[in-house]
Amino acid sequence: MWHKDLRELIDTLEKKGKLIRVKKEINKDTELMPLVRWQFRGLPEKERKAFLFENVVDSKGRKYDAKVGVALIGASREVYAIALMCKVEEIREKWVKALENPIEPQIVGSGPVKEEIHVGGKLEEHGGLEEFPIPISTPGFDPAPFITAPYWVTKDPETGIRNVGTYRAMVKGRTKTGVLAALAQHIGIHLQKCKAAGKPLEAALVIGGPPVVGMTSVAKIPYGVDEFSVASALAGEPIPLVKCETVDLEVPAYAEIVLEGEITTDYVEPEGPFGEFPGYIGRPTLSPIFKIKCITHRKNPIYQAFISQMPPSESSKLRGIAYEVLLYRHLKHYCNITGLLDVAFHEPAGSHFYCVIQLRVTHPAEAWQALTSALSLAPALPKYVIAVDDDINPRDPDAVNWALATRVMPHRDIRIITGRISWLDPSAAPQTVGEAEATFPAVEGTSALIINATRKWPYPPTALPAKEYMERALQIWKELGLPELAPREPWYGYNLGYWSDEFKEAAELAVKGEYYKIAEIYAQRVRKGEEKQSEKTPS
């Protein structure tokens, strides 16, 4: 079971009350993204929904046939699970299984994406990119609309192995976009190989299509693995692809829009600036140009955009879930962290910098092994890694701060690791330095902080009433008609290893009103001539 295109997904979202359909006329250049932005700045995650704009205009008063869908797959973890047709708690297992067992996609003769084909003279006649209402993401700062949810399909010119990745594309003309990709990214490797061979890189830019393609396109899947095969594994069957018209590439048959063309390897032009995931406007770059030769699309296409920039956003949700899966798999399957329970990248910190690892520690070394191993998947992230126990919710910043407060002694439990690299991190170096220096400032690069916030020895119980009393009080709370609760863990007291039978018995007597009995026992332990001190330890 999978959503084979965006239209099926939109139906499902609407049925589940997770779609906001906007019929009012909305300006894509000034109003559309700011409106969706509000839900990410003003609503809790569980209330966030997908948006479908049905009546889009631009600042020149132009109307569009196409609708615009934003936050369709990444409005929240729940929307993501709906798109993936599973429960929230099943996302990770489904992903790990797909990574371990990719399925070859299937080439089919044709598909809806071929309903309209604009090539040669027809391309300009239909307006090229102007046919689609591409929104401005950060009005007031962005110098153009950018395509924010492109799935760039390219092939390694030597091996022929496909890559699908999401790299921002600045709209520069009817048949021209920029493409921002670091040389170390997978499309960058293809570009370098083509440049060495003295030829441009063929590319197809896919917009819309099966949700599983979007999920894999934004994930850091190892080089040489075809994202369509992981997407097929997430779908549970081969996803149908069709051949492009003008380039030797395949694209999803149920995509909404496909742009076919070539990326230059012999020159670059200015591109950007553009709002980026750390929450600041990213610096402009000199980047290659994508020259569009052909556009194919469904009738009345849905133009899909991710909302990115300041976290939390759709883009940080999508990347975050994928990072969590990849790091979980790395630690559990390849680094042998058997006590690993969960990996949480905090979204307000861009789903990149701040990572909490939840463990059931079986040996003191395990937390440190997990912390150092968490830096071994990639040199650029995370910047903070915090190991917490199984009773700390790794996604709750207040719970993590409580663990930092009471389970960490800084000089013993915190280490700084240098020699790291940084992408788009404005704290690495001033904006005025070159890209190489900003990525790895001489001589020791950037750094990470690793924190062992697990308990180092048995702790006394948490200072809350025992479960039975909290449960009884919850009944009374409801009987009194008091406001609805959103309980935060921990909400009852539990033993963390340091508690004696004597204490237990004393507490049982106390709730029966028999506390004088305890006071009598205590009175027999009087210490004459002594001052205030700790009592002996429990047995």
Question: Radius of gyration (Cα) for the chain, nearest Å?
Answer: 27
State yes or no: residue 196 binds a second copy (CB under 8 A). Answer: no
State yes or no: residue 364 binds a second copy (CB under 8 A). Answer: no
Two tokens, residue 522: 């205590």
State yes or no: residue 486 binds a second copy (CB under 8 A). Answer: yes
State yes or no: residue 88 binds a second copy (CB under 8 A). Answer: no
Which residues have C-beta within 8 Å of that of residue 300, sequence separation ≥ 6? 65, 66, 67
Site string for a second copy, 260-299 (x = CB under 8 A): ------xxxxxxxx-xxxxxxxxxxxxxx-----------
State yes or no: residue 368 binds a second copy (CB under 8 A). Answer: no
Q: Which is nearer to a second copy, 365 or 405 (CB)?
A: 405
Q: How far apart are CB 36 and a second copy at their closest, in Å?
A: 8
Q: How far apart are CB 359 and a second copy at their closest, in Å?
A: 16
- 106-145 positions binding a second copy, by CB under 8 A: 136, 138-145
Q: Using the CB atoms, write b or e for 368-377: b if 16+ within 10 Å.
A: bbbbebbbeb
Q: Which is nearer to a second copy, 2 or 354 (CB)?
A: 354
State yes or no: residue 526 binds a second copy (CB under 8 A). Answer: yes
DSSP, collapsed to helix, strand or coil, labels residue 194 as helix
Length, in residues, of the chain = 539
Out of 352, 358, 389, 440, the only residue in the binding site for a second copy (CB under 8 A) is 352
State yes or no: residue 194 binds a second copy (CB under 8 A). Answer: no
State yes or no: residue 173 binds a second copy (CB under 8 A). Answer: yes
State yes or no: residue 220 binds a second copy (CB under 8 A). Answer: no
Measure the CA–CA gap between 68 and 303, rounded to whole angstroms.
Answer: 5
First to last CA, the chain: 57
- 244-263 positions binding a second copy, by CB under 8 A: none
Q: Which is nearer to a second copy, 330 or 420 (CB)?
A: 420
State yes or no: residue 43 binds a second copy (CB under 8 A). Answer: yes
What DSSP assignment string belongs to 327-389? HHHIIIIIS--TTEEEEEE-GGGTTTSEEEEEE--SSHHHHHHHHHHTTSS-SS--SEEEEE-
Measure the CA–CA gap between 261 and 245, rounded to whole angstroms.
Answer: 10
443 upstream amide cis, omega within 30 of 0: yes
What DSSP assignment string belongs to 394-454? TT-HHHHHHHHHHH--HHHHEEEEEEE--SS-TTSS-TTS-HHHHHS-TTT-EEEEEEE-S
- 402-431 positions binding a second copy, by CB under 8 A: 402, 404-414, 416, 418, 425-428, 430-431
Q: Which is nearer to a second copy, 15 or 415 (CB)?
A: 415
State yes or no: residue 442 binds a second copy (CB under 8 A). Answer: no
334 phi and psi, to 5 degrees?
-110, -20
Q: Which is nearer to a second copy, 172 or 243 (CB)?
A: 172
293 close to 261: Cβ distance less than 8 angstroms: yes
Q: Which is nearer to a second copy, 86 or 503 (CB)?
A: 503
State yes or no: residue 399 binds a second copy (CB under 8 A). Answer: yes
- 487-516 positions binding a second copy, by CB under 8 A: 487-488, 490-491, 493, 496, 498-499, 503, 506-507, 509-513, 515-516
State yes or no: residue 378 binds a second copy (CB under 8 A). Answer: no
Out of 1, 365, 442, 463, the only residue in the binding site for a second copy (CB under 8 A) is 463
How would you classify residue 209: left for phi > 0, otherwise alpha for psi between -120 and 50, otherwise beta?
left
- 13-42 positions binding a second copy, by CB under 8 A: 20, 22, 24, 26, 29-31, 33-35, 37-39, 41-42
CB burial of residue 384 (10 Å; 0-12, 13-18, 19+)? middle
Point out which span in 92-100, 108-116, 220-228, 529-537 binds a second copy (CB under 8 A): 529-537
Two tokens, residue 537: 């330890």
Measure the CA–CA gap between 391 and 111, rounded to whole angstroms.
Answer: 50
User: What sign does the dihedral 13-16-17-18 (CA atoms) show?
Assistant: negative
Q: Which is nearer to a second copy, 109 or 483 (CB)?
A: 483
Pairing mode, strands 169-173 and 285-287: unpaired
State yes or no: residue 449 binds a second copy (CB under 8 A). Answer: yes
State yes or no: residue 485 binds a second copy (CB under 8 A). Answer: yes
Two tokens, residue 412: 């013993």
Measure the CA–CA gap between 206 and 208, rounded to whole angstroms.
Answer: 7
Q: Which is nearer to a second copy, 5 or 276 (CB)?
A: 276
- Number of shown-chain residues binding a second copy (CB under 8 A): 170
Q: How far apart are CB 152 and a second copy at their closest, in Å?
A: 14
Q: Which is nearer to a second copy, 1 or 533 (CB)?
A: 533
Point out which span in 80-88, 95-103, 197-205, 350-358 binds a second copy (CB under 8 A): 350-358
259 close to 174: Cβ distance less than 8 angstroms: no
